[in-house]
Structures are given as structure tokens and as C-alpha cells.
A and B are shown apart, each in its own frame.
Chain A
Amino acid sequence: MSEVPVELKFLSSHEWVLVEENVATIGVSDHAQELLGDLVYVELPEQGSTIAAGDSVGVIESVKAASDIYAPVSGEVIEVNDELDGAPERINHDAYGDGWMYKVAMEDPEEVESLLDAEAYTEVIADEE
């Protein structure tokens, strides 16, 4: 069973969000990396770009498959985890830590309310299995 930290929010498409004041740190869940297997490429939104919740903002690709990644919240991308470029396996090893993908200065912190909490996300992945 994959890990689902209680302090995080989620999308049913397996992105996670850590909210600290108005900054959201975003990644993909442990369950997602498990499904995809060894990751080989990660394409992230550009720093300084503006994204809207629900947009497809990048791609993660494993040996097995490619998958779009979606923005859970709207705002400006203020930081991107460049380490993933040469070492996408960080997501496999530590999806909620070293494997974080990008940070967004949120336009509307209330958007977070519509995201899934850990319990609801656990149900989503249980339904998949």
C-alpha cells in the first residue's frame, strides 16, 4: 500500500499539494510513481509562467508510459525542481520529498478547499485497485 501523508491535498489524477501560506508545493503521489514505474523524463512548467487549475502543465514519462500532469491550483510558478531533469528517479525514491516538482504562488487560496484530503484520496486509489 502506498503512502498518503495526511498533511497533503490531492487531485484524483494523483498530484499532491502542500500548502504553506499562499505557496503551494506540487508533486505526484507515491501511488502514481508506483503505477508508472521507473521515471525517465519529467517536463515541468516554466518558472515565471502563469497556470490555471485543471490545466495540463507538463508530462512525466516512465519506461512504461507517459502521463500528463495537471495543475491543482492557479497562480504563478515561482520555483521549479531542476534536479528532476537529470534525476527523475527522485520521484520514485521520494515522491513527497526530493521528488517535488514545482511551487506556485496561489491566486486564490480557496481553490485548495476543492482538493481531496488524504482520506478521500486513499479511497480514490483503493477504488482503482
Chain B
Amino acid sequence: MGNKTPLYQCHLDAGAKIVDFAGWDMPINYGSQISEHEAVRNDAGMFDVSHMTVVDVSGGDAKAYLQHLLANDVARLTLSGKALYSCMLNEQGGVIDDLITYYLRDNFYRVVINSATREKDLAWLDLQAQSYPDLKIKFRDDVAMLAAQGPNAREKATKLFAEYQQSPLQQLSRFQGVEFDDCFVARTGYTGEDGFEILMLSEQIADLWDRLVEAGVAPCGLGARDTLRLEAGMNLYGSDMDETTSPLVSGLGWTVAMSDERNFIGRQALEAEKAAGVQQSFVGLLLLDKGVLRNHLKVLTAQGEGEITSGSYSPTLQQSLLNFPLCARGNPC
């Protein structure tokens, strides 16, 4: 028996096949993960992401703390609700986790981290907080989250909100969130489609889920979530990067802000790595022949060999698709 999200009963009612995911009983699919994938690409689907970890970081030191903690720079966030994707590194430049930080207002940030890494992340957040006296870190175990994704998801979801909330939701730009009294809605996701991620108190979320189902938003499981993110070229923590790989070899160099002198954890290691020449590049591949390539298979090329970090079938392309780091054999990429 694993942890259950507040939407667990909704999943059973919708005929979900439940699997263990990092200690959580989560839906892998509700019949067909390919139909769910297609629902998100062509119309609207939704995922229970309540197993993810939400942490509110507040206080006069919040900004300085996050600037030290994260490889991307939260100083880039100046508009209330704006989101920033970042890696959290260890001193060796390895990725402890990837996460999203929302700037809600001065001295108040919301961080959403992975579920499988919850314990070690929370311990790391606490450890790094010690030198910041004006800082409060609050783990929000009272909230739940769902992601409504797809070309029609925003329209279908917006109609379910109170009238005064609809106009701000319609005007929300990409990677931007808005906070209401009873919920937080951001135009973000993990599918490569437009959509919302909606965070609200746990006891209220099943009602929203049911109304989204009525509005024609298809329940989608973790299976479809994985093929959607892979098609969109998004990394999965634990597969595409972990504490032993730097963002520079994991296709995440674009998320590291090093243009100024900001001192963040892992910076020295990344600078040394750059100076020595980054040894691997991270690429996406498509298998032209039949078959599905799986994680950890070796790929041989003229430029060196690599190992598949995420391989699966692409329902949209109807071909096999994978991410893998390619050794450059000493040549800087």
C-alpha cells in the first residue's frame, strides 16, 4: 500500500490501472496510454500530479537563498506568477533535482520538485537554509495539483472557474501563473502542449477533476505523460540526469545562468567542466526501422558511443524516440 493522492478514488472510478511510482499509488493508464497521449496532442487531457512536492519559500532572504541554491537565476523573475525551470546542483555539479520556481511576490516563492526525490530534496533545502536567518521553508502537504494539457485544455478548464477568474486566466501568458484565494493556476506543463497546472487545497481538487471530466478533459496516466514529455524533448529526472551527471551533459546547459558573477552551488564544478571541454552532448534520436528502443541500450556512432537515457515509442510519430548522451571523445562540443 503506497501513498494515495486526494484523486485516488477518481482514478479508480475512471478505471485506472494503478502502479507504484516512488511510493505512490498512481494511474499508469485508464485503458490505453496511446489514446490518452492522442487526447493531449489533439484535444485535452489531464494528469494527477499531486504526488509532486510543493514548497513555499518566504522571507527577506528568500531571493538570495534561491539564487545560491539554484543553477538558474530567480532574479529573472520580476512579474508576479512567473515561472522558472532550474536544476538544483550539488557541489560537484551533479543534478540533485530539476524543479520549477514561481515568483509570487516579493519575498515569496513557490517551488515544485519531484516526488521520488522528496526526502533528499527537503533535507538539502533545510541544510542550505542554515546561513539565511530570515527564511521560512514550508512543505505544503495540504495542497494537491493537476495538469490539464492539450490545445483545448485552457478553454475547457477556464469555463469551470468563477467569472472573475476567467479573464485573468484567458490573459495568462506562457510560463506565467496567477494566484487566487482558493487556488494557483499556471500556464505550464510537461507535455509540449499548451495547458494549465492547477494547485489547490487537497479537499477541493476531486470536485475540479470531476468537472473537468464532464467538460471533456480525458484522464491520462503516467504512461502517456512519459511519451508526451519525451516527444517534447523534456528531461526526466533519474533517467536523463541524476547526481552523477552535470546539466551540461544532460541537455540542460540552457537552464544554467552563468553570465554574471552569481555564486551558486555547483558553479565551480561547471566552470571547471567547461574549461576542460564538455565531454558529452545530449541528443534526441528517431529509430527509422521497426522496434522500440529502451533505456540503457548502447548506441554506436562514428563520433563515439552513448547510452540511451530515455527510450520509448512515439505515438505521434509512430516511431521509436530516444534521448541519449553522445561521447564526443575529448572534443569539446
Contacts and interface: CB of A to CB of B under 8 A. Distances in A.
Interface of A: 37-38, 40-41, 43, 61, 63-64, 66, 89, 92
B292 A41 contact: yes
A61 B32 contact: no
Interface string B160-186: 000000000000000000000000000
A92 B29 CA distance: 14
B35 to A, nearest CB: 8
Contacts of A38: 29, 32-34
B223 interface: yes
Contacts of B32: 37-38, 89, 92
A89 B34 contact: yes
B291 A63 contact: no
B280 interface: no
Interface residues of B, number: 14
A41 B290 contact: yes
Contacts of A92: 32
B20 to A, nearest CB: 15
Given A63-B312, A63-B313, A92-B32, A37 B290 contact: no
A64 B291 contact: no
Nearest to A85: B290
21 contacts: A37-B28, A37-B223, A38-B29, A38-B32, A38-B33, A38-B34, A40-B292, A40-B313, A40-B318, A43-B290, A61-B291, A61-B292, A63-B223, A63-B227, A63-B292, A63-B313, A63-B315, A64-B223, A89-B32, A89-B34, A92-B32
A61 B34 CA distance: 14
Which of A37, A40, A63, A66 counts the most chain B CB atoms within 10 A?
A63
Interface of A is mostly: mixed
Given A38-B34, A40-B313, A89-B34, A66 B292 contact: yes
B258 to A, nearest CB: 38
A66 B294 CA distance: 10
A37 B19 CA distance: 13
A6 to B, nearest CB: 26
B229 to A, nearest CB: 14
The 4 closest A-B pairs by CB, nearest first: A38-B34, A63-B313, A40-B313, A41-B290
Contacts of B315: 63
A41 B287 CA distance: 13
Nearest to B318: A40
Given A63-B223, A63-B313, A37 B292 contact: no
